[in-house]
A and B are shown apart, each in its own frame.
Chain A
Amino acid sequence: MSFLAPLFLIGTLAVALPVIFHLVRRSSKEQIPFSSLMFLQPAPPRVTKRSRLEHLLLLLLRCLVVCLLALGFSRPFFQRPMTASPLSEETGRKVVVLVDTSASMKREGLWSEALGQAEAALKQTGPGDQVAVLTFDRRVRTLVSFEQWNQMDIGQRATLTLARISDLKPNWSSTQLGSALIAAAEAFADADKEGRSIGRRQIILISDMQEGSRLDGLQGYEWPRGIEVQVEAVQPKRPTNAGVQWLAANDDSANAGTNLVTRIRVSNSANATREQFKLHWADAPSAAPLDVYVPPGQSRIVPAPTLPPDTVGEQLVLTGDDDDFDNTVYVLQPKAEHINIIFAGDEPENDSAQPFFYLKRAFQPTARQIVEVEARTSAAELPPADLADARLLVVADHLSDSRMDAVQKFMTGGGTVLFVMKNTAAADDIGRLAGTNGFAADEVTPPNYALFGMIDFNHPLFAPFADARFNDFTKIHFWKYRRVDAAKLPGARVLAKFDSGDPAVLEIPRGNGRLLVLTSGWEPADSQLAVSSKFVPLLYSTLDLSGGIHTTLAQFHIDDEVNLAGLMPGVTTSAISVKKPDGTMVQLAAGETRFSDTDRPGIYSVTTLQPPIRFAVNLDGAESRTAMLPGDELQRLGVPMKAREVALSTQVEQKRRLHDAELEDRQKLWRWLTLTALVVLLGETFVAGWLTRRTAVQTGAQS
């Protein structure tokens, strides 16, 4: 027999009470008053007689009632073997352990705590469980898949997996928690596809749950049914963490030649206990450090400490907080790029009736690029060296034979030539450049004016205007233009047409380069183009099309993919090698221009070019937001949370208790015991009454 509440058995000790009462009542009952005790001497009590219990039957009944009640309250039941092993239901449980390896886990004590949590999670797994271990930062990596787990020796699974987790170290990457959770959920789906039994599915998330974790992936994701997430958050010992970011000046608004102000954003975590920090150049110790005051949960944008003249600073360090993983930022000041445009035409520079006047003024120098437009009159030659430096060649006049050759070479070598038809005579030159003879054009003067009737916004030239806010070209009136037959030019593509259907802008690919033909001029005699707001953007778009403007972004974040082609002037076909901040060299395959090995902060340099191209890779600013996420953030996004998992032994104990409770509930022995107690109580009442009556009768008889 077993008991559901064995503590109530202590109640059987109450058996002592009836015994005591029987003794106590006996002595208290036998007391008689007497007028005076002056002639009496106290006699010692006769022990043997006093300690003898009277009414043994009554006592026995009372003790029985107490025992029965205590027994009933302890809920006894007859034990039967459990129909199923408590562990059997646990077979098939699937667990994905998701370990955060982002940069914020580099904080003091977090990683060791995370390892401890992982160990605890693995120890809780039963022999029937399947476990996969995924790590995540910006990317999700599978450390141990379900398949690998199943292949391991059952006794060694947890140990081997733990050994693999112990080899991990947090890296410098940002935290994409949302996509990691989705990947973990999909890991279940993949395993389920393999036809394994579907048991309870659970994700154990071991992370610092920092505020900067990106959860946007979960926004539109429908979380699969039956997958619970148990968060094992690790907490830093000291909460203050300030981060530093470089706000790279990507705009061109500053004047050329002036130094750009380096702006730094210093942010402080919401749970910080300190607010005073210092900012200094690590590689320029002579520069005075800057005091920064940032209240918790806020950020301040400050200019970088002023550098002494002729000193270069590239590494800016913040001090004063508890963790320094995000306290260094690498800064590269961009250098202005010189871009040459050659104008081939005989036009005086100050003649506002000619196209060159407008072209010269369209490109204003900026901090990032200085565009120089040089005119080459027909008197001068076009030396190949000139053209080699040029990004764009604008032709507005008739080309001599020698010039024609040079332009042809420039074009086939990858250059872009913009031909502005000032008159119908230019058609011959265009024909020759396009590789056809006898190409002619007619002068058209529309009754009022002509407009752009059709524009191919898919072409890179007009793509910047594709937005509805910018695609209105109706303000540009063309007073006259030259009608050409695009079909006669091999490979010609009409990028814009007049409202009459005649081509306005043509593109003819030639070799590696291209020829762009504008059938009207932009000077006031031909059109309003030069004075319209579209003129300068259109020219920049043309320059961009010719590869003249490079990506000026010089800052990347960890794990960003860097398109080196955008950083390099011109095209290179040789293999590129990149030197990482720690000195290791990464060789890219020939023709490959995308570099994705940005795994640590620092300054990278492409060494195959002279001078080498450098770019800075910094930590993602979100990693500095180390305060904890709100507790219900995941639930708000539809992720079902689970309370902390109890130990396996506790689960078994709970199951056994449940089984016992069910057995007891079915047998209900306590009812019988209580009933018996009531019956005995009735019997006791009867016996007690009988004894009292008998005593009364005897007393009466004696008196």
Chain B
Amino acid sequence: MSRVAVPFESSPAAQSADSRPLIDPATLMSIKNLELRARVVVEGFWHGMHRSPYHGFSVEFTEYRQYSPGDDPRYLDWKLYARSDRYYIKKFEDETNLRCHLMLDQSRSMSYGSLSYTKAQYANTLAATLAYFLSMQGDAVGLLTFDERIRDYLPARHRPGHLRNLMIRLEQPAAGNATDLSAPLHRIVQTVKKRSLLVLISDLLGPIGALEKDLTALAACGHEVILFHLLDPAELTLSFEKAVMFRDVETGRQIFIDPVTARKGYVQKLEAHNQNIQAACSRLGIGYRRLTTDQPLEFALFDFLRERMQRGKRIRRRAR
């Protein structure tokens, strides 16, 4: 189990009202350094966490187990041996340190942005923030970037310099043409044997059939999955006025669109697409969170922790 305590159960909106003001994403994105950006978000969040009344616990004892040859003698409970003259091994929760794999979509559709920054920049910052946060807690963080194929893979580790390395990988520009989840999925399945946390950050702009299939496969491999569905505000509402040629950044296809007439149909189709994804996630037990790039990153962090906590409760209940 994670050592992360759930700071509060209130919604992000409620939290933003009574806490110190959240950082405006546009201002945050104006910071060039990705690590600095992540640190700004996490440290702001950290302060808020210390103010919380629910924090404070450490390595948690779970059970004793009779020693059998081959076990590490470091974990022998010598006091109990003195009392009972029997060898017992102490088992702790923190034996199973969290392994988190950040799966970041770097397809070209991610390079779109109607604001002063793109979805890819936002996603990078989000991934960096999570990595920094987890790393500060001593968890191992890995990175896998992909588009229609795997671009980069960094195994989950917790050691000095690893976070820095991860940040550098994150700063690579998006280049791929399409989004394909199956290839990174296979790689994860092959390389990550231990059960771990998979955080998928993508705009999920692809045929719903293929997406659902990929998500199903991801959930089926036994990992804990959290999905951040990133969307630009303009993508949600098609907030254009002029009838112009629209060019698909991934395929280069051009079509003439009059947004005024096309908006209604577009919003409906997009909403249906999002609903389908959300439905699939809830069906598969995947934590789903939709983010628009104009939302503060702290929301994402809150959602992440909440998701982790709920899941921890579920698991604890199951364990009892």
Total residues of chain B contacting the partner, CB 8 A: 34
Which segment of A41-49, A147-155, A412-420, A484-492 sits at the interface? A41-49
The 10 residue pairs across chains A and B that have the minimum distance between CB atoms: A35-B112, A42-B255, A39-B269, A35-B109, A30-B244, A36-B205, A31-B245, A37-B248, A43-B258, A34-B246
A41 to B258, alpha carbons, bound, how many Å? 10
The answer to whether A36 and B109 have CB atoms under 8 Å apart is: yes
Q: Is A40 an interface residue (CB 8 A)?
A: yes
Q: Is A33 an interface residue (CB 8 A)?
A: yes
The answer to whether A43 and B245 have CB atoms under 8 Å apart is: no
Within 8 A of A (CB), among B33-52: none
B236-262: CB near A (< 8 Å → 1, else 0) gives 000010111111111101111110011
Tell me the minimal C-beta distance from B143 to chain A in angstroms. Answer: 23
Known: A37-B253, A39-B273. A31 touches B258 (CB 8 A): no
Tell me the minimal C-beta distance from A43 to chain B in angstroms. Answer: 5
The answer to whether A32 and B269 have CB atoms under 8 Å apart is: no
Q: Is A79 an interface residue (CB 8 A)?
A: no
Can you show 11 pairs from A to B with CB atoms below 8 A apart? A31-B244, A33-B247, A33-B248, A33-B249, A35-B112, A35-B203, A36-B109, A36-B205, A38-B206, A40-B246, A41-B262
Q: Is A250 an interface residue (CB 8 A)?
A: no
- Using a CB–CB cutoff of 8 Å, the interface residues on chain B facing chain A are 109-110, 112, 119, 203, 205-207, 232, 235, 240, 242-251, 253-258, 261-262, 265-266, 269-270, 273
Main SS at interface, chain B: mixed
With beta carbons under 8 angstroms apart, the residue of B203, B251, B255 that contacts A40 is B255
With beta carbons under 8 angstroms apart, the residue of A31, A46, A49 that contacts B247 is A31
Known: A35-B109, A37-B253. A27 touches B262 (CB 8 A): no
The answer to whether A38 and B255 have CB atoms under 8 Å apart is: no
- Using a CB–CB cutoff of 8 Å, the interface residues on chain A facing chain B are 27, 30-46, 49
Most B-side CB within 10 Å, residue of A36, A37, A41: A36
Residues of B near A27 (CB, < 8 A) are 245
With beta carbons under 8 angstroms apart, the residue of A37, A44, A45, A49 that contacts B246 is A37
Chain A residue at smallest Cβ distance from B254: A31
Tell me the minimal C-beta distance from A32 to chain B in angstroms. Answer: 6
A39 to B267, alpha carbons, bound, how many Å? 8
With beta carbons under 8 angstroms apart, the residue of B110, B206, B249 that contacts A34 is B249
Q: Apart from A34-B249, A40-B266, what are 7 other A-B pairs with CB-CB below 8 Å? A: A32-B245, A33-B247, A35-B112, A36-B249, A41-B265, A42-B255, A43-B257
With beta carbons under 8 angstroms apart, the residue of A30, A35, A39, A41 that contacts B245 is A30
Residues of B near A43 (CB, < 8 A) are 243, 256-258, 261-262
Residues of A near B273 (CB, < 8 A) are 39
With beta carbons under 8 angstroms apart, the residue of B110, B232, B242, B270 that contacts A39 is B270
Residues of A near B112 (CB, < 8 A) are 33-35
Tell me the minimal C-beta distance from B100 to chain A in angstroms. Answer: 27
A659 to B298, alpha carbons, bound, how many Å? 89
Chain B residue at smallest Cβ distance from A45: B256
Tell me the minimal C-beta distance from B189 to chain A in angstroms. Answer: 28
A35 to B232, alpha carbons, bound, how many Å? 9
A34 to B242, alpha carbons, bound, how many Å? 14
A44 to B269, alpha carbons, bound, how many Å? 20
Tell me the minimal C-beta distance from B273 to chain A in angstroms. Answer: 7
